[in-house]
A and B are shown apart, each in its own frame.
Chain A
Amino acid sequence: MKTSETASAPAAWDPERARAVIREHKELPGALLPVLHAVRDTFGYVAPEAVPLVAEELNLSRAEVHGVLTFYHLFRQSKPGRHEVWICRAEACQAMNGDGVAEHASQRLGTDFHGTSEDGRYSLEPVYCLGNCALAPAAMIDGRLHGRLDAARLDELIAELEENG
């Protein structure tokens, strides 16, 4: 995930750049998660091509890297849409018609959950709690939290994204 709203757009895949990113973090104790986060932050996802590089740099087997990569929901392995929309599907949001917001998001963005719209604009992901449960329903769009959502508010937010490209 983006840990900063101002993070620059993801870079195109580049094995040299990937290696440099991996090397920046590889000496940390238990380095694999920080390394995968760094790869994800740099390229927007962890491409299959990254796995052997990570394995080699960290002296792990590809299977070990694959195992960790696929265990965690946030390490996506395919290129995300230009905007990542996470809709909270957990109980507190369900209590405030989060399901309705989720359904609307899916229709409006033109993709199912876990998918990306055909125009490559939006990826839609379910998320299980954003810690905004007193202002439910909640969503996170490109690392930015939103609360008190309904279909109309979601449309406004999406319109803002479209205005800004």
Chain B
Amino acid sequence: MTMKVFVPGDSAARSVGADAVARAIRAEAARRDASVDLVRNGSRGLYWLEPLVEVATEQGRVAYGPVSASDVPSLFDAGFLRGEEHVLSHGLTDSISYLANQERLTFARVGVVDPLSIADYRAYGGLRGLERALAIEPASVISEVTESGLRGRGGAAFPAGIKWKTVHDTQASQKYIACNADEGDSGTFADRMLMEGDPFLLIEGMVIAGLATGATEGYIYLRAEYPDAYRVLTEAIRVAYEERLLGDDILGTGNRFHLHLRLAAGAYICGEETSMLESLEGKRGEIRYKPPLPAIEGLFGKPTVVNNVLTLAAVPLILDRGAAYYAGFGTGRSRGTQPLQLAGNVARGGLFEKAFGLTLRELIHDWGGGTATGRSVRAVQVGGPLGAYVPHWQLDTPLDYEALAERDAMLGHGGVVVFDDSVDMAKMARYAMEFCAIESCGKCTPCRMGSVRGVEVIDRVVGDQDRDKNLVLLEDLCDTMIHGSLCAMGGLTPYPVLSALRHFPEDFEPREGAGGGAGGDERRRAGGALRVVS
């Protein structure tokens, strides 16, 4: 009897040895004459257990992890092909509490299916959203998305339905759907996981967006740091053309939608929507003034829906199950689910998709198991490099758009990076400015110059040069950047800086003498020696 074994082909799982495990299982199976059908699935997002090997049994899939290639003979000895006990066994995958307590709407198939099998995709509910979208009027598709309460998951949280309606209502000879897959925020990997683990979902979402708005061309702007996602998407698009999910006759209905995959080239700013459009047009990724909105004048000057991967990937389910189903999850004006990404110094890092409303404490302590180092949590950066640092005494903040905004923080793309009590917050504040200096597109002065000056001013504060004056200057500089920058890069960089300063002023004490509350002078020196801005 052939047993089905799953070893993730997800790049993060591969980064800790999944390929070697897959090879070892094949070799061991051959040696023992066992018949094994090995599937390279996506990751379940339980990254501390990767490589997570699963075996399909009559009771369901049984999980083992983290497996290394050297564990494979003992897994065979223990009878893992029948789901038997082993020291690495976690029982039924679906019963692992981290997974069982999630509400996986967008990530329902990720880690479950063979990412490139259209048969799997259909068997697990794929294409039902598209079929419904093809059966109803474009305007009804848009109302469905609007009523679901879906807001842009890239970070700006703009209501998706309203954006789509603007593109729909704008007359033009050509319209575009541009998917922002330039997932540059540190602490985020949900787009990558989804593209590697369920690429047809993104394609289906983009086709639906095209049908709804009248766009017949789509672009995925993918960061070049994701070569595995590039490979999977390239193949998925090829299959989608073959299966007529893409092309001139979508599912035999005569509707058209063509999809192109484009690689970014390592500029963080190109995650800003207008920079991304410039880049897609073959230009420097300098941001554009708004208005005009991209929905009216976007890619190549035409009306364009610019949505994040997760926004587009949420759409098929909304069409399939209806707006009310999706809106039934969440809290206040944050409807649906948010794929949160738990990262950094955390014991059980991974993807945690849940209805809005979970608190940081629940996420980090109940599900994440606290820090990886076993020390106490000191600060958490939510929402990427432009997101504020939330201090440990504010961990009861719910992870929804409004609750975070009330605390001058933001959800962004849902990345949560945990730091233990050895973190030096002045160093993190300096890094925020340094990162902005490296990645600023240079179009506006507050961002281009402000970030460079910000690094210098923080160095002076910490170096005890006119400390009080420089603290005033830092606040003033941040104020200028917030109010004077053209886009979120310069406008939000001050948030991590100011939050670090407000919550952890002791770290900004002069370095000689008492030192900062966090200690770590050696790390500071190491950080200084490795400065990347000269």
Contacts and interface: CB of A to CB of B under 8 A. Distances in A.
Contacts of B381: 91
Nearest to B46: A134
B184 A100 contact: no
A71 B284 contact: yes
B418 to A, nearest CB: 6
B209 interface: no
Interface stretch (B151-159, B319-327, B470-478, B526-534): B526-534
Contacts of B189: 131-134
A90 B186 contact: yes
Contacts of A94: 428, 431
Chain B interface helix/strand/loop/mixed: mixed
A90 to B, nearest CB: 3
Interface in A45-103: 67-68, 71-75, 86, 88-96, 99-100, 102-103
A151 to B, nearest CB: 13
B344 A91 contact: yes
Interface string A102-136: 11001000000110000000000011111111111
Interface string B8-38: 0001101110000000000000000000000
B417 interface: yes
Contacts of A91: 186-187, 344, 381, 385, 417, 428, 431
Contacts of A10: none
A31 interface: yes
Interface in B268-314: 268, 279-286, 300
Nearest to A68: B284
Contacts of B527: 99
B12 A72 contact: no
Contacts of B264: 33, 72
B15 A145 contact: yes
Nearest to A74: B266
Given A33-B262, A73-B267, A146 B227 contact: no
A163 interface: no
B16 A148 contact: yes
Contacts, number: 185
Interface in A1-47: 1-5, 29-34, 36-37
A136 B231 contact: no
A139 B526 CA distance: 19
Residue in B11, B282, B418 with the greatest tally of chain A CB atoms within 10 Å: B282
B162 interface: no
A108 to B, nearest CB: 14
Contact of A92 (B11, B192, B343, B420): B343
A133 B188 contact: yes
Range, interface on chain B: 35 or more
Contacts of A36: 265
B225 interface: yes
B241 interface: no
Contacts of A148: 15-16
A36 B267 CA distance: 14
Contacts of A158: none
A2 B285 CA distance: 21
Interface of B: 11-12, 14-16, 47-48, 50, 183-189, 191-192, 224-228, 230-231, 262-268, 279-286, 300, 341-346, 349-351, 372, 381, 385, 415, 417-420, 423, 428, 431, 435, 438-439, 441, 523, 526-527, 529-530, 532
Given A1-B224, A30-B283, A72-B266, 9 more contacts: A3-B224, A30-B300, A33-B279, A72-B264, A89-B532, A113-B532, A128-B439, A129-B188, A135-B16
21 contacts: A1-B225, A2-B227, A30-B282, A36-B265, A37-B224, A71-B285, A90-B187, A91-B385, A92-B344, A95-B420, A95-B423, A96-B344, A96-B345, A99-B527, A100-B523, A113-B532, A128-B268, A131-B183, A132-B11, A133-B349, A134-B349
Interface of A: 1-5, 29-34, 36-37, 67-68, 71-75, 86, 88-96, 99-100, 102-103, 106, 113-114, 126-136, 138, 140, 143-148
